[in-house]
Amino acid sequence: MATPLPRLCLLLLPLLAACRNEPAPDPAAATTAEGKDRRELIRQPGPGWKPGNTARKLNILLLLDKTKIRKGETFLYRLEMQNVGRDPLSFKETAPSFTKDGSLCGSDGFKFYATPPASEERLLPCVAGKAEESELDLTLLPGEYLLTRGSAPGNRFRELKTKLPFETLGTYRLKAVYTPAGGLRADSNTVTLEVVP
């Protein structure tokens, strides 16, 4: 007996919704470095997303794992960067890549700033270390999100590698800034981190 057309449509709706109109993955791209990076680090925008009026614009969201730490303790963060402009944005990072390794010592344009309690804003000094991964070279299409790699599978947060000790008690303000060669500048939201005894 044939399934009535309305019932068949209801059965197919969840499958169609799951597709979200994303292009089918290119099997050849999955074997390239960019294909692997895109699979791991890129997320697609929600349905109905439209670019703004600006040709090149990047929004950065800075998130902390927790907003309170003990004196001298490290903290975990993550960045979510969305291309909200009309044009694709190229991300080229030499090893160690900030997006993959979390190193602020490269010349890739990522910087972190902190305003300690009762003090002025300062650039966070980096911690030199060996590259854990190769460079990053990919294009972020309009609407796409680029996520920083986390410390472990299933955990998008990672430790901020800096020489600044968070030992002064009180509230710190933190922000990330992206200023690659080419004139684009993007500042993240400012987050607060409280250091307690």
Task: Please check whether residue 195 lies inside any domain of the structure.
Answer: no
Residues 6 or more apart whose Cβ sits within 8 Å of residue 82: 45, 58, 59, 61, 143, 144, 145, 146
User: Is 188 a domain residue?
Assistant: no
From the list 187, 149, 197, the residue with the least C-alpha distance to 41 is 149
Classify residue 180: in a domain, yes or no.
no
Q: Does any domain span residue 187?
A: no
Quick check: is 63 in a domain?
yes
Domain extent, residue 140, equals: 27-109+125-163
Q: Which two tokens stand for residue 185?
A: 């500048």
Asked if residue 84 is part of any domain, the answer here is: yes
Of the pLDDT bands very low, low, confident and very high (cuts 50, 70, 90), residue 152 is confident
Q: Domain total for the chain? A: 1
- Residue 168 falls within a domain, yes or no? no
In a domain, 172, yes or no: no
Report pTM: 0.80
Q: Which of 65-79, 96-110, 147-161, 182-196 comes out lowest in average pLDDT?
A: 96-110
- pLDDT tens figures, 17-73: 443 444 444 444 456 888 999 999 999 999 999 998 999 999 999 999 999 999 989
Structure tokens at 26: 């290119």
